[in-house]
Amino acid sequence: MFNSKKRKARFLIFGLLALVMVFPFYYMLVLSFTPNESALKYPPQLWPFHPTLSNYVQAWQSNNFQLYFLHSLWVSVISTLLGTIIACAAAFVISRFRFFGRKLIYMIFLGSMMVPSMTFILPQFKEMEHLHLLNSLNGLLLVYTAGMIPFTTFLMKGFFDEVPKEIEDAVVMDGGGKWTLFWRIMMPMALPSLVTAVLFNFMGGWDDYTLALTFINDPHKWTLPIALQLFQGQHTSAWGMIFAASVIQVLPIIAIFIAFQRHIIRGLMAGAVKG
C-alpha cells in the first residue's frame, strides 16, 4: 500500500512538471491559430475558438521568411552531416586504434567542450576573415561543423568503447578490414548514439543566433533565428504572426525528436553514460 501511494505521488509530481514544461509551447501553438485581434486577450484563452491559418500564410510569405528558412536548413543539414561523419571517424580511431598521442588528442576534444563557446568567437572571426569566408553561409557552415565535432566524438567514442573486441576479431577473420568494421559493423550498431548526435548537432545549427549574427552581415544571407528576431521587431502588434513564425522554427526539431525519441534515449545512455 505504501509503495502504491509512493508511485502515485511520484507520477503526480512528474505529471505536473511535464505540464509546466509543455504548457508554454501549447500556448504558443494556440496563439498561432488565433486571429490577431483576439490574441493575448485577458483572461487568456486556452483554445483557438476561431482558428485560422492566415497567420502561418502571412508569416511564411513576409520578410523573406522562406529564404531565411532555406538558409538555416542548408547550413544546419550540411554542417550536421560533415560534423557527424568527421566526429564518428575520429571517435572510431581514438577508440579502436593504439598510437602515440591518442589520449592527448582525446583530452583536447574534452577540453574544448569545457571552454565556453563564446571564448572562440574572436579567433574564429579572425580565421574566417583570413580565409575570406566572412559574410558567407559556407563560412558559417564550417564554424558550425567545427563546433559539433568535440561533443559528437565524445558521445560516439563512449559507444565504440563498449563494442566487444570479439566482434572486431570476427571481422578480421572473415577478411574484413578497419573500414569494413567501421562502416558496415560499428555504424549500424551505433544507430541510437548516431541519431542522438545528429539531433543535438542539428539543434545547435538550427537555433544558433550569436554566431550567425557575428559572421553574417548581409541581410540576404541571414538565417532563421536572426530573421525571427527582426520579425518580432517589425510586427510587434501581430502576435498571431509572431507565434506562427515561432512554431515554424521549432517544428523541425520537434518532428525529429518525436520520430527518433527511442533511439535518442538509448543513445544518451549508451554513449554519454557509459562513456
Give residue-wise pLDDT tens across range 19-62.
Answer: 888 888 888 888 888 887 666 676 777 777 778 888 888 888 88
Over the Cα atoms of the chain, what is R_g? Answer: 23
pLDDT at 275: 43
Segment 63-87, tens digit of pLDDT = 788 899 999 999 999 999 999 999 9
User: For 60, what's the count of Cα atoms within 13 Å in the CB-facing half-sphere?
Assistant: 9
- Supply the DSSP symbol for 3: H
Give residue 187's identity as a one-letter amino acid code: M
Assign 47 to helix, strand or coil.
coil
pLDDT at 166: 84
- For the chain, domains (ranges, CATH) are 55-273 (1.10.3720.10)
Q: What's the distance, CA 75 to chain centroid?
A: 12
Q: Indicate if the alpha-carbon torsion angle 192, 193, 197, 198 is positive or negative.
A: negative
pLDDT at 274: 46
Of 255, 11, 215, 10, the closest CA to residue 133 belongs to: 215
Q: pTM to 2 decimals?
A: 0.84
User: For 174, what's the count of Cα atoms within 13 Å in the CB-facing half-sphere?
Assistant: 11
pLDDT at 270: 56
Grid cell of 197 as nine digits = 548526435
Residue entry with cell 509551447? 25
Enumerate residue ranges in the chain where pLDDT < 50.
271-275
What mean pLDDT is reported for the chain? Answer: 84
Q: What's the distance, CA 142 to chain centroid?
A: 16
